Structure 1
Amino acid sequence: MHNSESHDRRPYVPTSAEMEERYRSSDQVWSGNPNATLVDYTAGLTPGSALDIGCGEGADALWLKNQGWQVLGIDFAPTAVARTRERGVEAQVATFSSFSHTPFDLVSVHYGGVRATAEEVQRLERLVAPGGTLLFVHHEVESAELAMLEWLAENLRELEVITLARRARHVSEGAGAHHRNDVILVAKRAG
């Protein structure tokens, strides 16, 4: 798999077929632990409905479920969705661009790909229920294709940005362990 981050900080955006092959060729791609930012930022939220966009193998979705959330995970890789379901969490194979659902109290995106278009931003915002929260975390990288968080913060129209911050990562295992910093966006819809 191509990775150009070490040269110019632009992420390589894998296709669904490439990610499916990555999952099929490994018993476990990610660490199996929930993302620390998810754990920290949802600690003060009242559990309700949650959407995990790009759920991978389901660690975040399972953690949310265990905290009392009603969780739906989506991912474009069927093997990832099967692994999430094996953990007892509802999940479906879907791309973000084709996904439609009633709004959620929490929409969580960790390292997922939302394209930098007005249509995708609007789709993302529509998934957040009144009084709901968007938690979007990505590595500190640059991209013209993906909605990086500074760009997203400037282009949200229906949600209020509560937090836009950088955070050091302390991940030592699994794919993505080489990234040292994340950017965090927390936005809310008025209740």
Structure 2
Amino acid sequence: MSQHQHDHDDAPDYFEQAGWDERYSGSEKIWSGKPNPQLVAEVSGLTPGTAMDLGCGEGGDVIWLAQQGWTVTGADFSPEGLARASRHATEAGVGDRTDWWQVDARIFDAGGRQFDLVTTHFLHPGGAMVDVVGRLTAAVAPGGHLLVVGHAPSEVFEQLSRKQHDAMWHAADLLPALTDDFEVLVVEDRPRVAERDGTTMEIEDATLLARRR
């Protein structure tokens, strides 16, 4: 077995709750806290209302939305992540504009709840993303927007495992999940320059934006 394979075998399973609980259990902040760029690009012009961010992690996008005037539900399957996000929202002064929902995206059920904006960023639940997006459509209120952003497959992610590569998707792959009452506004793999471990690289954000009629 190669060292590369050995490292993957020893790594936490980030397709499952326990892996993320382990990652969020330390004292160090994992993410930058800055909003994801496609969220800023696509949502800045919308009138604030209610929003849900699925896979919210430490809450960076939730906090940014709340700062723009949205009332936001941050949803994630990791209670450790949600606890961090709640603390960060309080520290940012937007705790009163946020609430939190522990839910696994793979079995997400809106339960009749609807939002003016439903968004998720870099959620890669194995090969189940089309199903997840289909589940999310029910949570979008009439006139509301659905924004889904993820990693498009790319050779720059060569260090990842085969399972992780297979979990990536192109924006167009998600179109079958939309029902007839959705109007597609954006469907593209959008180039973006990113820095990873001190190296600058160009990646593509698979970006789907749709509006429910």
TM range (shorter): 0.7 to 0.9
2:191 corresponds to which residue? 168
Unaligned runs of at least 5 residues, structure 2? 1-6, 90-94, 155-164
CA contact (8 A) 2:62 2:73 kept: yes
Q: RMSD of aligned C-alpha atoms? A: 2.6
Task: Please identify, of 59-68 and 101-110, the stretch whose mean Cα deviation from structure 2 is larger.
Answer: 101-110
Between the two proteins, the alignment pairs up a number of residues equal to 179
Higher fraction of helix: 2
Aligned equivalents of 2:114, 2:169: Cα separation in 1: 20
Counterpart of 1:17 in structure 2 is: 18
Q: How big is the shift at 1:173? A: 6.1
Matched residue SS, 1:172:
strand
SS in 1 for 2:149: strand
* Structure 1: distance between partners of 2:104 and 2:33: 22
> Deviation at 1:136?
0.5
TM-fit CA distance, 1:144: 5.9
How far apart, CA to CA, are the structure 2 residues paired with 1:138 and 1:30? 16
Structure 2 residue aligned with 1:58: 59
Q: Are the equivalent residues in 1 in contact too, given 2:186–2:208 (CA < 8 A)?
A: yes
5+ residue gaps, structure 1, are 4-11
Q: TM-score scaled by structure 2?
A: 0.74
2-structure distance, mates of 1:148, 1:39: 20
State whether residues 130 and 174 of structure 2, in contact with CA within 8 Å, keep that contact through their aligned partners in structure 1. no
- Whether the 8 Å CA contact 1:168–1:180 is kept in 2: the answer is yes
Rg larger in 1 or in 2? 2
In structure 2, how many angstroms separate the alpha carbons of the residues matched to 1:28 and 1:79? 12
Residue 9 of structure 1 is matched in structure 2 by none
Q: Is the 8 A contact 2:116 2:145 kept in 1?
A: yes
Residue among 101, 104, 110 paired with 1:100 = 110
CA displacement at 1:168 relative to structure 2: 2.3
Match of 1:110 among 89, 105, 121: 121
Query: Counterparts of 1:46 and 1:61 in 2: how far apart (Å)?
Result: 16
Pair 1:156-2:182 in alignment: no
Using CA pairs under 8 Å that are at least 6 residues apart, name the structure with larger relative contact order, 1 or 2: 1
TM, length-normalised to structure 1: 0.82
Matched, 1:135 2:183: no
Q: Residue by residue, what CA displacement relative to the aligned partner does 1:57-94 show, whole Å, maximum 9, x if unpaired? A: 00000000000000000011111101111112311221
